[in-house]
Amino acid sequence: MRVTKTCVCLDSLKLNLMSSTVRLNRFLASCGLASRRACEKIILEGRVTVNGEPAVLLSTKVDPESDIVKVDSYAVKPEAFRYFLFNKPKGVICSSRDERGRKTCIDFLPEDIERVYTVGRLDRDSEGLVLLTNDGNLAHKLTHPSFEHAKLYLLWMDDALDAHWLRRFSEGIEDDGEMLKAFLIKQRDVRTHCYEVILKEGRNRQLRRMTEAAGREVVRLQRIEMGSLVLKDVSLGECRELSDEEALELKAVT
Active site residues: 123
Rounded to whole angstroms, how far apart are CA atoms 22 and 206?
A: 38
90-141-168 Cα angle (round to 5): 60
Is residue 182 within 8 Å of 169, Cβ to Cβ?
A: yes
In degrees and rounded to multiples of 5, residue 155 shows phi and psi of -120, 115
- CA-closest candidate to residue 221, choices 119, 145, 121: 121
CA 189 to chain centre: 28
CA distance 31 to 220: 38
